[in-house]
């Protein structure tokens, strides 16, 4: 479970409170660094997706409860060979791939991330949990990049996750407000929220 980021840096940048909700700005140099490093990461996305989620469940067991299929799994090592977790990890990593591809068109990434936040409202995934994912992603990709990993690259990926999760939180909030308004209106009956996995 050890990873250089899991110390203070992880807490201040990805914790529940603090600067993580401030709007994130990606510089051109950071965008280039992310795109270059992604070329090295993308061959291993299935592996990274699994490592990232097993780590997430180890460091934040409360996240496991959101997943119907995983909430009762006690032995996290078993999840490393789970087809469902592999598929879920791949969905998340494909989203990261799409995000990297849209870094030159941030308005398109913005729309995508807001929509994703809205769907997470229906998955019952609380926004405060979004903050944890970037740190686990970083821990999972560091060993792939080996000595190509630098503090500047780490900062670039942290900023990208802050950017994306900030928009996801906005989408979640918009969906939550929309549902509340619909529930208040006598015409519209609220639909049941579900856990998809």
Give Cα 187 distance to the centre of its chain: 35
Give the count of residues interacting with ligand HEM (CB under 6 A).
20
- Measured between alpha carbons, how far is 34 from 24 in angstroms, rounded to an integer? 15
DSSP 34-66: HHHHHHHHGGGHHHHHHHHHHHHHHH-GGGGGG
The yes or no reply on residue 67 touching ligand HEM (CB under 6 A) is yes
Q: Does 173 engage in binding with ligand HEM (CB under 6 A)? A: no
| Residue 70 in tokens | 């995983």
Q: Whole-number minimum distance, CB 86 to ligand HEM, in Å?
A: 11
Q: Which of 76, 95, 142, 176 binds ligand HEM (CB under 6 A)?
A: 95
**Residue 144 or 196: which CB sits closer to ligand HEM?**
196
Selected from 52, 140, 165, 171, the binder of ligand HEM by CB under 6 A is: 165
What φ, ψ does residue 108 adopt, rounded to 5°? Answer: -75, -35
CA 154 – CA 167 distance, rounded (Å): 20
Whose Cβ is closer to ligand HEM: residue 50's or residue 184's?
A: 50
Report the candidate in 62, 175, 177, 167 with the shortest Cα–Cα distance to residue 119.
Answer: 175
Q: Is 33 exposed, middle or buried (0-12, 13-18, 19+ CB in 10 A)?
A: buried
Choosing from 9, 26, 90, 92, the residue that interacts with ligand HEM (CB under 6 A) is 92
Contacting ligand HEM within 101-160 (CB under 6 A): 116, 119-120, 123, 125, 129-130, 133
In the bound state with ligand HEM, the residue whose beta carbon lies nearer, of 33 and 167, is 167
197 binds ligand HEM (CB under 6 A): yes
What is the number of H-type helices and E-type strands within the chain?
8, 0
Contacts with ligand HEM, residue ranges (CB under 6 A)? 63, 66-67, 88, 91-92, 95, 116, 119-120, 123, 125, 129-130, 133, 164-165, 195-197
């Amino acid at each position: 479970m050890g990873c250089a980021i899991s110390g203070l840096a992880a807490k201040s940048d990805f914790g529940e409170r603090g600067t993580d909700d401030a709007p994130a700005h990606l510089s051109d140099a950071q965008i280039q660094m992310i795109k270059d490093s992604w070329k090295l990461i993308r061959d291993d996305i299935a592996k990274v997706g699994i490592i990232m989620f097993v780590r997430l469940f180890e460091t934040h067991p409360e996240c496991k409860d959101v997943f119907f299929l995983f909430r009762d799994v006690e032995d996290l090592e078993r999840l490393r060979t789970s087809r469902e977790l592999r598929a879920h990890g791949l969905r998340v990593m494909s989203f990261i791939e799409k995000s990297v591809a849209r870094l030159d068109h941030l308005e398109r990434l913005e729309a995508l991330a807001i929509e994703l936040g809205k769907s997470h409202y229906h998955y019952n995934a609380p926004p405060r949990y979004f903050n944890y994912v970037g740190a686990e992603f970083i821990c999972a990709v560091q060993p792939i990049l080996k000595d190509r990993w630098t503090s500047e690259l780490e900062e670039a990926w942290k900023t990208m996750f802050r950017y994306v999760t900030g928009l996801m939180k906005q989408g979640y909030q918009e969906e939550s407000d929309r549902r509340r308004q619909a529930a208040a209106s006598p015409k519209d009956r609220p639909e049941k929220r579900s856990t998809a996995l």
